[in-house]
């Protein structure tokens, strides 16, 4: 599928000019983990700042290079393989946190690891209300994949927490939208377009977020059942509960029982009363619900192992348990264990299909769940190596695709930014 | 009749599409649509259509596209930035006859509505099921959900609950070429670009929403409201900082200064504590156990900051009394000044004291009185710049003060608009906040949706023709305010 990469001469020219600009660059290598869904770039540039990204993009633009932006590479195998790839622009040197704690706002370099951001914010009793789904993610990577964990239920997904963004476009010019204040309706909210766009509209260099205070106390109530009807009733109850959960998280490992986790955050006295009320309403399970005062290791992490195919599924909230069931059943039908985890309260699930599964079986699972799902979507967020290039439609039906193409053509007329990595071959 | 010959030729087709009663061509009738809530920006629309279906909207827009005729979408016309100001050579597409609530799905906690549905009617439809629609702009009794989409409306409670964009799951829109496109759906995530996120707040420049799916939230278990009176704005401001620093996220924190209190007192006899230099309204909602604990903490923090009187409201009637003065504040300044400008700027919350001092200095040096009403929790200022419009020099000074306040907001890292939008009123302020490159990127989005430039032209982004004019003033009450149907925010 790959189109011809640029001639070695153009790559050499760009490499020497990057060096002249003082921008660190090296040849791309598969064993260094440079491959983007299996496609190895000729060059990996690591600019030190936004101006450096502009310079690198200007060179790419002049020489017609196809560019993929990356952070730590923890989700470098997400999306479809790029049709062309000459240069990767790594944002790992674009670090830095400007935390306006009194305003509950932070401006963060795209290359800053999410975990590092959370550590720093925690010293001021604050957090970005985005849980780690894939370990090692940078802030830019989380935003470019639009990946949100359990607490999206109460605080919204990452797109709801971005209030400003700086992006270097295909024309190599850095532009900003939004600002440093939460309440702001000046101009188009271009950050919404870049969030979840897999870098197909520009290279994100910094993001400004709205933050939340860390509550004094938390309680995590867990109920377990093998009966989908019980789980369905629990999710329905939790969606209406006056307890106002920060997260209602479903965890249904392959071959195991379903766990429902309800996270309550607030004052010490408050969470105690709310947890008791929640535990009382999660009846009829395999055992009494248990309650703890901290989060387990791996809270919010995607199910399965690195390298598994990861499906991203969204449905109306009342259909969450049935959708999870459909995913598992579709796996069982072809003898493949599918694990499901995600926000039952928000109707957004991740499902893992083991890496070794044949592409045809993955396709069967995906197609079957798409057919069964009356409303919503099943996308193959991270196809395993065996699935790449198998012809499986990663996105399914995409509403508004023609408009999306128009947006892409307007922002990146030469299709130099991660060509082919996104919906409909964008 | 319609003066523009091109438009006249379209009238029979428009009538065939929308029916005789769905097209307004007569000038006196067209004139009633000449402005939205910002009445000093006005233009008589070339023609007005009142479609009843998405297909009609699409056909009208397609006809405009074919003939190169501009169109302007309009909901209830309560906007405060001239976003729905008509185009004299264009068609005004009014959604007020698309007012059906199509579906309330409580199992999945959403409602599907037509764009002309009043904001508050969504909550009314959800209330019997114990749910509500969170965005609550002050005009919510009459403003339309479609208008809220265009402006990304918030409301007093957006500090905690966010804006329209955070509460929409899906939309059907008519794009400027007349296509009907579905964006989003009934689930939280959809593959592809977040076009819906970009569309919301685009002020009618990317098309017209013809059907909207909004999220419904369960009503909070408990709501408690307190009103605290402080000797000075500084004392009130430090209470706000203390509340935020304590990790409390109220549903709303509103503040008024002495002049705004005076006006509210004169207008609605809200009976706020006499002698207050500042009044703070704090509303907490959520689980009862949390609200009660936080309420005690907030009360204590207000006392520590120097509150000399604290009143609490625990039922809806008491709450309405506390809010009465605040909600009437804009219209109320009409009692103490013949004319006024409602400004809408945002600053980082920590910059509030400094910016308020700056506004006081501006007022002192120009002799122009400024009443301050604001959403203190999110730094959204609504200074009311008072003057006598019979005095043209005063009017000019007031406009200068109003503009200088926006400059102060930008200098402190804020925004030129928190909720009223850019529209026609602030398009020329955009270059103060954004670089030419930033604006070019925004233009790219606009052209992707509207290459012919027919959707609400000369709004939101600056144009050379437009930006010779200076931001104007408000001299009369909006008809909806006068009739008691709406309160300006």
Give one DSSP letter per residue of A244-275, joined into a string.
Answer: --SEEEEEE-TTS-EEEEEEEEE-HHHHHHHH
Q: Which pTM was predicted?
A: 0.96
Are residues A66 and A138 both part of a single domain?
no
Are residues A209 and A221 both part of a single domain?
no
Between chains, do A173 and B437 touch, taking CB under 8 Å as contact?
yes
Q: Using an 8 Å CB-CB cutoff, list chain A residues near B354.
A: none
Least CB–CB distance from A266: residue in B290, B416, B448: B290
Between chains, do B198 and A181 touch, taking CB under 8 Å as contact?
no
Between chains, do A185 and B380 touch, taking CB under 8 Å as contact?
no
Whether complex ipTM tops 0.95: yes
Residue A283 is encoded by which pair of tokens?
A: 């009846």
pLDDT at residue B469, rounded to an integer: 45
Between chains, do A395 and B152 touch, taking CB under 8 Å as contact?
no
Closest CA to B486 of B139, B8, B64, B116: B139
B162 touches chain A (CB under 8 A): yes
Least CB–CB distance from A423: residue in B192, B288, B460: B192
Residue A127 lies in a domain: yes
> What residue of A is the nearest CA neighbor of B419?
A185
| Domain closes at, from A263, A292, A321 | A292
B147: helix, strand or coil: helix
Pairing status of strand A212-213 against strand A174-178: unpaired
pLDDT at residue A13, rounded to an integer: 94
Report the distance separating Cα A18 and Cα A55, nearest Å.
8
Report the distance separating Cα B371 and Cα B361, nearest Å.
13
Least CB–CB distance from A175: residue in B349, B430, B438: B438
Between chains, do B433 and A179 touch, taking CB under 8 Å as contact?
yes
Distance of CA B178 to the CA centre of its chain: 27
pLDDT at residue A254, rounded to an integer: 94
B312: helix, strand or coil: strand
The CATH number that applies at residue A67 is 3.30.465.10
Q: Mutation test of the interface with chain B: which of A147, A149, A187, choosing the one with the most B Cβ atoms within 10 A?
A: A187
Least CB–CB distance from B198: residue in A157, A190, A314: A190
Q: Using an 8 Å CB-CB cutoff, list chain B residues near A410.
A: 444-445, 447-448
> What residue of B is the nearest CA neighbor of A350?
B189
Residue A299 lies in a domain: no
**Alpha-carbon dihedral of residues A190, A194, A197, A201, nearest 10 degrees?**
80
Is residue B485 over pLDDT 50?
Answer: no
The total number of residues written for chain A in this structure: 426
Are residues A183 and A114 both part of a single domain?
yes
Between chains, do B245 and A102 touch, taking CB under 8 Å as contact?
yes
Q: How many CB atoms lie within 10 A of CB B453?
A: 16
Are residues A147 and A209 both part of a single domain?
yes
Are residues A102 and A208 both part of a single domain?
yes
pLDDT at residue B474, rounded to an integer: 45
Are residues A101 and A207 both part of a single domain?
yes
Least CB–CB distance from B191: residue in A167, A183, A395: A395
Q: What is the number of domains present in chain A?
A: 4
Are residues A81 and A104 both part of a single domain?
no
Residue A270 lies in a domain: yes
Q: Are A373 and A329 in contact (CB under 8 A)?
A: no
Between chains, do A267 and B293 touch, taking CB under 8 Å as contact?
yes
Q: Are B84 and B204 in contact (CB under 8 A)?
A: yes
B254: helix, strand or coil: strand
Residue B104 is encoded by which pair of tokens?
A: 């309330």
pLDDT at residue A233, rounded to an integer: 96
* Residue A307 distance to chain B (closest CA, Å): 21
Residue A406 lies in a domain: no
Are residues A114 and A75 both part of a single domain?
no
Please list the residues that pair with B255 across neighbouring strands. Answer: B280, B374
Ranking A370-384, B45-59, B382-396 by mean pLDDT, the lowest is B382-396
Residue A199 lies in a domain: yes
Is residue B484 over pLDDT 90?
Answer: no
Q: Using an 8 Å CB-CB cutoff, list chain B residues near A239.
A: 109, 218
Handedness of CA B426, B427, B432, B435 (dihedral sign): positive
- Percent of chain B clearing pLDDT 90 (strictly above): 87
The CATH number that applies at residue A221 is 3.30.70.100
A24-27, strands of its sheet edge to edge? A24-27, A43-46, A87-90, A67-70
Are residues A101 and A205 both part of a single domain?
yes
Are residues A221 and A204 both part of a single domain?
no
Report the distance separating Cα A160 and Cα B169, nearest Å.
13
Report the distance separating Cα B96 and Cα B445, nearest Å.
28
Q: Where are the alpha helices (DSSP H) in A351-400?
A: 359-372
Handedness of CA A72, A73, A78, A80 (dihedral sign): positive
* Residue B109 distance to chain A (closest CA, Å): 8
* Residue B49 distance to chain A (closest CA, Å): 26
A174-178, strands of its sheet edge to edge? A97-100, A105-109, A203-210, A162-168, A174-178
| Domain closes at, from A213, A237, A258 | A213
* Residue B422 distance to chain A (closest CA, Å): 6
Least CB–CB distance from A348: residue in B189, B414, B416: B189
Cα Rg for chain A, rounded, in angstroms?
22
Q: Are A411 and A169 in contact (CB under 8 A)?
A: yes
- The string over B346-372, giving b where at least 16 C-beta atoms fall within 10 Å of a residue's C-beta and e elsewhere, is bbbbbbbbebbebbeebbeebebbbbb
Residue A301 lies in a domain: no
pLDDT at residue B138, rounded to an integer: 87
Are residues A368 and A343 both part of a single domain?
yes
Residue B348 is encoded by which pair of tokens?
A: 């980082």
Residue A399 lies in a domain: no
Q: Using an 8 Å CB-CB cutoff, list chain B residues near A241.
A: 218
Give Cβ neighbours of residue B128 (< 8 Å, ≥ 6 apart): none
Are residues A62 and A120 both part of a single domain?
no
Between chains, do A404 and B182 touch, taking CB under 8 Å as contact?
no
Report the distance separating Cα B343 and Cα B330, nearest Å.
11
Between chains, do A186 and B417 touch, taking CB under 8 Å as contact?
yes
Closest CA to B70 of B48, B85, B92: B92
Give Cβ neighbours of residue A23 (< 8 Å, ≥ 6 apart): A45, A46, A47, A48, A52, A55, A56
Exposed, middle or buried, B214 (CB in 10 Å: 0-12/13-18/19+)? buried
| Cβ within 8 Å of A, B 30-89 | none
* Residue A251 distance to chain B (closest CA, Å): 19
Residue A389 lies in a domain: yes
Between chains, do A159 and B186 touch, taking CB under 8 Å as contact?
no
> What residue of A is the nearest CA neighbor of B240?
A102
Looking at every residue in chain B, the average pLDDT score rounds to 93
Write out the residue range of the structural domain in which residue A124 sits: 97-213
pLDDT at residue B1, rounded to an integer: 52
* Residue B390 distance to chain A (closest CA, Å): 32
pLDDT in 10s for each residue of chain A, 426 residues: 445 567 788 999 999 999 999 999 999 999 999 999 999 999 999 999 999 999 999 999 999 999 999 999 999 999 999 999 999 999 999 999 999 999 999 999 999 999 999 999 999 999 999 999 999 999 999 999 999 999 999 999 999 999 999 999 999 999 999 999 999 999 999 999 999 999 999 999 999 999 999 999 999 999 999 999 999 999 999 999 999 999 999 999 998 999 999 999 999 989 999 999 999 999 888 889 999 999 999 999 999 999 999 999 999 999 999 999 999 999 999 999 999 999 999 999 999 999 999 999 999 999 999 999 999 999 999 999 999 989 999 999 999 999 999 999 999 999 999 999 999 999
Least CB–CB distance from B109: residue in A181, A317, A409: A317
* Residue A9 distance to chain B (closest CA, Å): 32
* Residue B407 distance to chain A (closest CA, Å): 14
Least CB–CB distance from B348: residue in A105, A399, A406: A105
The CATH number that applies at residue A329 is 3.30.70.2740
Report the distance separating Cα A356 and Cα B429, nearest Å.
57
> What residue of A is the nearest CA neighbor of B243?
A102
Q: Using an 8 Å CB-CB cutoff, list chain B residues near A157.
A: 188-189
B462 touches chain A (CB under 8 A): no
| Domain closes at, from A245, A262, A292 | A292
Report the distance separating Cα B217 and Cα B106, nearest Å.
10
């Amino acid at each position: 599928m790959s189109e011809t990469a640029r001639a070695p001469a153009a790559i050499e020219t760009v490499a020497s000019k990057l060096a002249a600009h003082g921008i660190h660059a090296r040849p791309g290598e598969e064993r260094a983990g440079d491959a983007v869904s299996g496609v190895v770039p000729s060059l990996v540039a690591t600019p030190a700042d936004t101006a450096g990204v502009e310079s690198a993009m200007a060179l790419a633009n002049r020489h017609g290079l196809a560019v993929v932006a990356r952070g730590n590479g923890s989700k470098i195998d997400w999306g479809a393989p790029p049709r062309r790839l000459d240069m990767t622009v790594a944002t790992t040197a674009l670090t830095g946190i400007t935390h306006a704690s009194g305003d509950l706002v932070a401006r963060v370099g795209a290359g800053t690891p999410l975990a590092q951001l959370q550590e720093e914010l925690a010293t001021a009793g604050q957090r970005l209300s985005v849980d780690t789904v894939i370990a090692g993610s940078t802030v830019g990577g989380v935003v470019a994949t639009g990946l949100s964990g359990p607490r999206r239920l109460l605080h919204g997904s990452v797109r709801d927490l971005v209030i400003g963004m700086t992006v270097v476009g295909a024309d190599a010019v850095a532009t900003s939208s939004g600002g440093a204040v939460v309440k702001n309706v000046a101009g188009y909210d271009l950050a919404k377009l870049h969030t979840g766009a897999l870098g197909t509209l520009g290279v994100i260099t910094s993001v400004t977020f709205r933050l939340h205070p860390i509550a004094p106390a938390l309680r995590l109530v867990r109920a377990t059942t093998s009966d989908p009807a019980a789980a369905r009733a629990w999710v329905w109850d939790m969606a209406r509960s006056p307890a106002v959960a920060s997260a209602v998280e479903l965890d249904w490992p392959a071959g195991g029982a379903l766990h429902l986790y309800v996270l309550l955050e607030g004052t010490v006295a408050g969470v105690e009363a709310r947890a008791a009320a929640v535990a009382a309403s999660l009846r009829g399970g395999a055992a009494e619900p248990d309650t703890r005062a901290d989060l387990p290791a791996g809270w919010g992490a995607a199910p399965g192992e690195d390298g598994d195919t990861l499906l991203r599924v969204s449905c109306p909230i009342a259909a969450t348990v049935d959708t999870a069931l459909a995913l598992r059943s579709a796996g069982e039908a072809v003898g493949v264990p599918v694990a499901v985890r995600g926000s039952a309260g928000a109707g957004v699930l991740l499902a893992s299909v083991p890496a070794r599964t044949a592409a045809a079986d993955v396709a069967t699972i995906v197609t079957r769940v798409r057919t069964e799902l009356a409303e919503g979507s099943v996308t193959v967020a991270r196809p395993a190596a065996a699935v790449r290039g198998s012809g499986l439609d990663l996105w399914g039906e995409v509403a508004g695709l023609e408009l999306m193409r128009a947006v892409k053509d307007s922002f990146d007329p030469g299709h130099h930014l991660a060509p082919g990595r996104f919906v409909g071959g964008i | 009749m319609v003066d523009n010959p091109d438009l006249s030729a379209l009238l029979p087709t428009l009538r065939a599409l929308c029916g005789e009663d769905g097209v307004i061509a007569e000038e006196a009738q067209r004139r009633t649509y000449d402005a939205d809530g910002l009445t000093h920006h006005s233009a008589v629309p070339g023609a007005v259509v009142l479609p009843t279906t998405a297909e009609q909207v699409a056909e009208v827009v397609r006809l405009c596209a074919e003939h190169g005729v501009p169109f302007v979408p309009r909901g209830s016309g309560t906007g405060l930035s001239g976003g729905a100001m008509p185009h004299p050579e264009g068609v005004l597409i009014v959604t007020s006859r698309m007012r059906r609530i199509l579906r309330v799905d409580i199992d999945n906690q959403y409602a599907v509505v037509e764009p002309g549905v009043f904001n508050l009617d969504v909550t009314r439809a959800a209330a019997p099921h114990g749910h509500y629609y969170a965005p609550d702009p002050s005009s919510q009794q009459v403003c339309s959900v479609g208008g809220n989409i265009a402006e990304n409306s918030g409301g007093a409670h957006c500090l905690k609950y966010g804006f329209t964009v955070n509460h929409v799951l899906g939309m059907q829109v008519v794009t400027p070429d007349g296509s009907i496109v579905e964006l989003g759906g009934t689930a939280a995530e959809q593959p592809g670009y977040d076009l819906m996120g970009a569309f919301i707040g685009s002020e009618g420049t990317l098309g017209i929403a013809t059907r909207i799916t909004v999220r419904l939230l369960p009503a909070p278990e408990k709501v408690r409201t307190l009103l605290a009176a402080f000797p000075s704005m500084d004392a009130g401001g430090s209470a706000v900082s203390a509340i935020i620093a304590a990790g409390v996220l109220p549903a709303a924190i509103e503040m008024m200064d002495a002049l705004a209190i005076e006006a509210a007192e004169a207008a609605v006899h809200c009976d706020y504590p006499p002698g207050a230099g500042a009044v703070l309204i704090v509303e907490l909602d959520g689980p009862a156990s949390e609200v009660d604990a936080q309420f005690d903490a907030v009360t204590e923090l207000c006392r520590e900051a120097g509150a000399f009187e604290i009143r609490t409201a625990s039922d809806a009637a008491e709450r309405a009394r506390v809010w009465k003065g605040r909600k009437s504040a804009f219209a109320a300044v009409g009692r103490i000044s013949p004319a006024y400008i409602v400004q809408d700027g945002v600053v980082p919350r920590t910059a509030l004291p400094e910016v308020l001092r700056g506004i006081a200095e501006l007022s002192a040096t120009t002799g122009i009185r400024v009443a301050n009403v604001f959403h203190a929790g999110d730094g959204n200022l609504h200074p009311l710049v008072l003057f006598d419009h019979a005095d043209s020099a005063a009017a000019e000074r007031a406009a200068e003060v109003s503009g200088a306040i926006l400059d102060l907001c930008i200098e402190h890292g804020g925004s030129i608009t928190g909720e009223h939008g850019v529209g026609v009123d602030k398009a020329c302020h955009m270059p103060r906040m954004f670089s030419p490159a930033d604006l070019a990127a925004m233009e790219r989005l606009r052209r992707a949706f509207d290459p012919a430039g027919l959707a609400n032209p000369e709004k939101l982004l600056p144009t050379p023709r437009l930006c010779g004019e200076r931001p104007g003033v408000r001299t009369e009450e909006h008809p909806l305010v006068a009739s008691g149907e709406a309160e300006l925010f």
